[in-house]
Chain A
Amino acid sequence: MADGQAAGQTILVVGGGISGLTTAVEAAEVGYNVLLVEKTPHFGGRVAQHNKYFPKLCSPTCGLEINYQRVKNNPRIRLMTLAEVEEIKGSTGAYTARIRQNPRFVNQKCTACGDCAKACETEVANPYNFGMNKVKAIRHDHFMAFPSHYYMDPNFAASDEAKKLVAVCPVGAIDLGMKATVIEEKVASVVWSTGWKPFNAEKILPYGFGRIANVTTNMRFERMADKFGPTGGKLVRPSDGKEAKNVAFIQCAGSRDHNYLAFCSRICCLASMKQATYVRGLYPDAKVTIYYIDLRAMDRYEAFQKMVEADAGVRWIKSKPARIDEDAKTGNPVVVGENTLTGVRYEEPYDLVVLATGMEPNSATVAKVPCSDARYDEYGFVVSSGGLFSSGCSSQPSDVSGSVQSSTASALRAIQTAVNAKG
């Protein structure tokens, strides 16, 4: 029972996206101590890069904000940003996690006044926008960033300009002497929620991403659609900045394909339908074409598919395109393939082609569980075992609702481990 459970029982949650945040608040609101560790400077993870959620076309910030309030109001949750779990030792109910705290170069005194960013002249490629624009070397990633403390790019911290900035901060929050530190924490259970990254579209050679300027990816497109994103909300061709009014989406780009990701990433169909509404909403005279194998609008999302289908400006072609060429004169990507339903070959030029790339679990590459007991499936998703649990897209490709579902479940199982470890 939860009475007196706080006695030394802590749940470690790794990853501060929607899954990790959910696990943390749900467990803490039962009454357990949670240590929530995030690798980047801010919480929010992948969903914080999204302009809107399907099917309500509402802002992810709305739900994130409530979760941040729940985090802020709950003293049982300890937060670490810029922190990485390096090793987990021990056994179910009694793990020791070694956590590396990387330097932020801005301390707790930061009031988020923004004077430092204003004064900073050095700009760097913006990882939050996939390098599509530049940002100050000292910043927060987006204006809803939580925590709101600024952080400094580690490569910039050694520069002369960084030294000058120290004096700019009115409260002395810039601390260039910050060093990485390592702490050890005893935890009863661990929930791995490190999410996903977009599959590297460059690997899909026939589609020419990286070679053809006007072939982009769904996540980049999502950043473009954000009015605070790199293009100010305009949907434009990377080659010449012209408005993209004839846009094709190619589903399963790198998914459901043994050469790339063999599984289905679940969200991409809906994401493209959603992005079709961005195009049609912004440019009423625009045309959208969606190339698909199967349209996977599960359960109530069906209504969203029906809504997009009702738009005569959206054309659907059942086909997995063979390749994309580039029209050298116009810079138009030309999609080549055969329509499965008509048997007709097509070769169609577009202003912009968006590849609906899938999810690669971070746990397969950059965020493996540093524990010898960790188990994975063949794609690198984490299989829960012992006191190590996975949630959200660390366990399977999920939409937000599914991530919250599995994260709530993992919060319970992490609690059970804590309860049973206590005896």
Chain B
Amino acid sequence: MEKKIGCYICTGCGIGEALDVKALGNIAAKEQKIPVVKNHEFLCGPEGINLIRNDMTAEGVNALVIVGCSHRVKTEEFRLGVAQMDRVDIRDKCLWVLDVPEGDKTAKEDRQMMASDYVRIGCVKVKKMNDPKPFEAPTPFSKDVLVVGGGIAGLSAALEVAQTGYNVLLVEKEETLGGKVAKMHKVSPSRAPYNKLEENPLPKLLAEVKGNKHIKILNNTIVQKTVGAPGLFDVTLKNGSGTSVERVGSIIIATGYRAYDPAKLEKRLGYGSSPDVITSMEFEEMAKAGKIVRKSDGKPAKRVAFSLCAGQRDSSHLEYCSGACCVYSLKQALYVIENQPDASAYLIYQEVRTPGQMEDFYRKVQNEGGIFIKGDVKQVSQGGTGLTLDVDDKILRKEIKMDVDLLVLATGMETTVDTTDPNSASPVGSQVDELPGSILNLQYRQGPGLPSLKNNFPDSHFICFPYETRRTGIYVAGPARRPMGIAASRTDAAGAALKAIQVVESVARGAAVHPRAGDLSFPSFREEGCTQCKRCTEECPFGAINEDQKGNPLFNPTRCRRCGTCMGACPQKIISFANYSVDMIGSMLKEMEIPEADEEKPRILVFACENDAIPAIDMVGRSRLGALSPFVRIIPLRCMGSMSLVWIADAMAKGYDGVLLMGCRHGTDYQCHNVRGSALAEIRLSKVSETLDRLQLESSRVKMVEVNIMDAETLPQVINDFVAEISKLDPNPYKEF
């Protein structure tokens, strides 16, 4: 079907009074050759919308340039089922950000020029757009979910997925299911009233899992390697009798935690020097066996001390807190003292961390006579009646000696997920068929494990989007994701189950998952133009692109999050989306009018991230937080990661006097929704001086700034300061060409 563009210019909200709308219409109709160009005084109202709809029906208009307000408002009204559409914002980002005093002809003219340029580039953008054709995955496409790990988190995840109607393949490396919880006597409260020990939930859960026809359980099995992408993962499973390959749609890693090795702890805690110094897990096994005794001589242990934070919150060991050990130790204290008036439990702590309703459980242990000592164990020695602990009691402000039968060390949790630093990952050639210690052994160009954000935990946006890893379709549940106890793990498993189902349903529709959820576009690669430079395969924040032996990119559309980082990385311009391309943005910037040098109207091009910087600019307008220089022209980008250096060269060659890039905060506390986009843009930009040198231009003409979504107040100054800096330079000499 031939494209027929309609350009509709709203004259409401003061647009009609401020601008020469007829002239704008002429730009669309005559200069840009848009076949249908119309004005309406209230385009987002029912009449205006009908005007567009009628043209779609009667005139065959199938692509739209809507000139009016920001795309961030009136989204519902302009949801007209047209994929090829641009909202040209001449209200929020033009009228509302410019200071045009009454009667100031120059200012008025400048404003008209800005609106004209925005109309031009809107038309160009839509001309360059194609309908995104959703990726149709090859068959067999699977919606089954692989759950790795048969502990409490894995079992819960498997059951949650199965109860939603999807098939599950549950892989456990041990002979039996249950993981660490199988060794547990009782569990701490998961529901009201929060002051009672609960029976171990495992037997019931196991029965449900085993009885669910959607769940296939594979014990004694490991994942040898994983190839593929969401909907199309081929997982090689290995057990005693050999290997098999299963196709699954998505993966939940629920391999739990590794207890911190007590042998690494300081000698002062006595682990290894006395059999009566044990870990929480060893104590738990004792309790389950019904015999809380001194290991040294088998006598009943009536005096039990618990040292919390053993090797945690400590820069020599785990620097973080494992979150669940306080509650866990309280539970174990109850094993000792509940209904046993002759027994004592001492909890030696730094802080008691019992958030939420767990405070009730803390009170319960206090009421049962648990003895809480804020301090540190300084030394453990063999005393006359058992262990003697030297404890620095911070409340009594002195060292005390305590005789106990057992000392239990609450060691922390480390994730069992193998993490990968994509920047130093081994390339495709070194991928191996089996990698001990790797959960999935991903056959990804960027390495076999999951990238980590902090403390080796494999997340990427842990406040707002805690389930997001950087490997699409692979989610992590339970303490493998973040330190947590049993109740939280079960909730976490349900959340991960949702994400695992969501990704298969989304990619089955050809749609992206977070953050561009629902986006049907995906990049295509013009392979014959590739020079095997590997930038796209190295830079994709989500590891979506593999390589063949020659270094050609092997793209996996269902792994793709549509950020466009590959497009920005490619020096050959061979990567593009149906509705977003190097050519599109390049054509847009070239279409704007650059005044002659002697007109003294410089032109500053601003590339702004549409996630944070663009909303911030909108807010400048909406709240009238200040005036922008009329010489700036703003082009939104999907993500700074999609920024191509070609555009900088094009802009300079076209005669723009400066280019300002506005991306999200990067570094340790990055805010880029695509993790690496703004960081990569910064790296790319460090090479721009070569381009500028070649053109014999000052390197200060191009600058990148970090813009937070709430920087609206300072944004006008940031932009205007840059314009002022650029204005000190001579005009770009290329204007004359």
Contacts and interface: CB of A to CB of B under 8 A. Distances in A.
A144 B615 contact: yes
Contacts of B483: 299
Contacts of A294: 351-353
A247 B379 CA distance: 39
A303 interface: yes
Nearest to B464: A63
B669 A299 contact: no
A74 B357 contact: no
Contact of A170 (B12, B319, B352, B664): B12
Contacts of A62: 464, 611-612, 664, 671, 708-709
Contacts of B464: 18, 62-63, 66-67, 400-401, 404
Contact of A400 (B73, B397, B463): B463
B708 A59 contact: yes
Contacts of A160: none
Interface string B10-41: 00111000000000000000000000000000
B358 interface: yes
Given A30-B501, A72-B75, A294-B351, A377 B357 contact: yes
A136 interface: no
B12 A408 contact: no
B134 interface: no
Contact of A412 (B191, B357, B497, B513): B497
A210 interface: no
A27 B395 CA distance: 50
A56 B454 CA distance: 12
A381 interface: yes
B611 A409 contact: no
A294 B321 CA distance: 14
Contacts of A421: none
Contact of A409 (B42, B457, B461, B492): B492
Interface in B310-329: 313, 319-323
Interface string B110-128: 0000000000000000000
B12 A300 contact: no
B80 to A, nearest CB: 12
B57 to A, nearest CB: 20
A148 interface: yes
B362 to A, nearest CB: 8
Contact of A143 (B45, B77, B494, B619): B619
Given A1-B166, A294-B351, A343-B397, A299 B359 contact: no
Contact of A405 (B457, B461, B466): B466
A410 B611 CA distance: 27
A200 interface: no
Interface string A397-423: 110110011101111110110011000
A405 B491 contact: yes
Contacts of A266: 355-356
B694 interface: no
B559 interface: no
Nearest to B453: A300
A396 B357 contact: yes
A31 B75 CA distance: 20
Contacts of A411: 498
Interface residues of B, number: 91
Contact of B395 (A29, A228, A341): A341
Interface in B265-311: none
Most buried by B among A25, A65, A408: A408
Contacts of B683: none
A228 to B, nearest CB: 7
A182 to B, nearest CB: 23
Nearest to A76: B518
B501 A397 contact: no
A257 B441 CA distance: 50
Given A62-B708, A144-B619, A298-B323, A401 B463 contact: yes
A168 to B, nearest CB: 13
Nearest to B669: A56
Contacts of B53: none
The secondary structure that dominates the B interface is loop
Interface stretch (B157-165, B399-407, B523-531): B157-165
Contacts of B357: 263, 377, 379, 381, 396-397
A372 interface: no
B164 A415 contact: yes
Nearest to B46: A109
B99 interface: no
Contact of B622 (A114, A262, A342, A377): A114
B247 to A, nearest CB: 17
Contacts of A377: 191-194, 357
A405 B466 CA distance: 7
Interface in A1-59: 1-2, 18, 25-27, 29-31, 53, 56-59
Size band of the interface chain A makes with B: 35 or more
A306 B313 CA distance: 9
Interface string A169-185: 01100000000000000
B615 A295 contact: no
Contact of B463 (A53, A171, A256, A413): A53
Contacts of B194: 377
B514 interface: yes
B353 to A, nearest CB: 5
Interface string B455-467: 1010001111111
A297 interface: yes
A27 B513 CA distance: 12
A26 B494 CA distance: 12
Interface string B57-93: 0000000000001001111110100000000000000
A408 to B, nearest CB: 4
A112 interface: yes
A113 interface: yes
Contact of A299 (B73, B482, B615): B482
A26 B517 CA distance: 10
A1 to B, nearest CB: 5
B44 interface: yes
Contacts of A53: 463
B435 interface: no
B338 interface: no
Nearest to A70: B517
Contact of A298 (B12, B160, B321, B513): B321
A335 to B, nearest CB: 20
B709 A65 contact: yes
B498 A143 contact: no
A340 B397 CA distance: 10
A378 interface: yes
A171 B517 contact: no
Contact of A300 (B320, B461, B494, B623): B320
Interface in B102-160: 143, 160
A30 to B, nearest CB: 5
B505 to A, nearest CB: 5
A336 interface: no
Given A59-B710, A143-B619, A2 B360 contact: no
B494 A413 contact: yes
Interface in B476-529: 482-484, 488, 491-495, 497-499, 501-502, 505-506, 513-515, 517-518
B502 A171 contact: no
B93 to A, nearest CB: 14
A331 to B, nearest CB: 30
A101 interface: no
B354 A401 contact: no
Nearest to A378: B192
Contacts of B712: 143
Given A30-B505, A228-B623, 4 more contacts: A25-B517, A298-B355, A299-B320, A383-B192
22 contacts: A53-B463, A65-B709, A70-B518, A111-B12, A143-B622, A148-B72, A148-B622, A227-B710, A264-B354, A264-B356, A297-B321, A299-B323, A301-B321, A303-B320, A377-B192, A377-B193, A378-B192, A379-B357, A397-B355, A401-B464, A408-B467, A419-B164
